[in-house]
Amino acid sequence: MLQMMDDKAFFDNAVYHKGCITKYLLSKAKSESLNIASSILDHDTAFRSLISDVHEDLFVGKKAFPMSQILEIYISHLPDHLPKTYPVTKLQDKLERYYDKAIIVQPQRGQGKSNFVFSSNVSIGNVVAAAGKLKSKLKTSEIEQEVSQVSDNISDDQILHSAAKILRRDIENLTVPTDDYPTPNEASLAVSMERMPSSLTKFVLAMGQKYSVQTFDQQLYSIAKQVAWTMPETFRNHIIRLGGFHTLSCFIAAIGKLLTTYL
């Protein structure tokens, strides 16, 4: 009968002997205590699994972890019947109690910034390098996410217009000396790169293909093949075919690969 009644109905309507009420309340408290104990045990197991995952990276690999990442690892070890949430400050306290002085928790400036956790045995230089590398990865992922979100709302014409605007600005800001203009003998890819905006270089690299296809007429074809055979490493990404020889088209086709090869 007691099992069929909820707590409110029991307290409002039930009239039992004092001993029966006491027995019921004690059994209910015991059940709740068992549930709490089981939850604590599950959290302890998840914490031990967390330590197993990060310990070697912390003390051997000298890796710096953001607390947000540690929290994700911890939550991943919680069983399915428990909520997939946990206070990050509480987890940080558990880490500091467990490792004591073996770890250092470094706060970051700025609202919402995750603290960094690293071994107290690493040098300041290692910490700065590790934190900088991690921030770079996080920043890159944020930029990729922003680009993917924005690109869905921007047309191809808008993207091309923006690219042209950037290139035009950098070209206008480029100072090309005219008093020591290189002679034909001095002209080379390295000299051109020095007087070429970096944004234009990146644009050409992105536009260029992985290999270049160059066609030569009958008189030049055999000579081109001989040159390629004598320097296989230099021409490993060049495809030479018999056809019309067009200097400008060959240059446009090859420029992307040339920049990739020699930069």
132 and 215 assigned to the same domain: no
Within a domain: 187: no
113 and 27 assigned to the same domain: yes
- Written as six digits, the tokens of 244 are 């019309």
125 and 238 assigned to the same domain: no
Q: Which residues contact 127 (CB under 8 A, 6 or more apart)?
A: 64, 106, 116, 118
The pLDDT, as a whole number, for residue 260 is: 53
Total structural domains in the chain? 2
Residue closest to 122 by CA, chosen among 205, 200, 62, 66: 62
Within a domain: 170: no
The mean pLDDT value for 150-173 works out to: 69
Within a domain: 253: yes
Distance CA 46, CA 10 (A): 38
Within a domain: 154: no
Residue 28 has pLDDT above 80, yes or no: no
139 and 215 assigned to the same domain: no
Within a domain: 214: yes
The mean pLDDT value for 3-7 works out to: 51
> Is residue 74 very low, low, confident or very high in pLDDT (cuts 50, 70, 90)?
very high
26 and 140 assigned to the same domain: yes
130 and 235 assigned to the same domain: no
Residue type, 149: Q
Residue closest to 261 by CA, chosen among 239, 244, 237, 241: 237
Axis-axis angle for helices 198-207, 247-262 (nearest 10) = 110
Identity of the highest mean pLDDT range in 54-63, 147-156, 236-245: 54-63
Residue closest to 210 by CA, chosen among 258, 249, 243: 258
Contacts from 52-61 at CB under 8 Å and sequence distance 24+? 58/103, 58/117, 58/118, 58/119, 59/102, 59/119, 59/121
Within a domain: 163: no
136 and 258 assigned to the same domain: no
The pLDDT, as a whole number, for residue 230 is: 82
- Written as six digits, the tokens of 242 are 């018999």
122 and 214 assigned to the same domain: no
- Pairing relationship of beta strands 238-242 and 212-216 according to DSSP bridges: parallel
Task: Determine the structural domain holding residue 22 and report its residue range.
Answer: 2-149
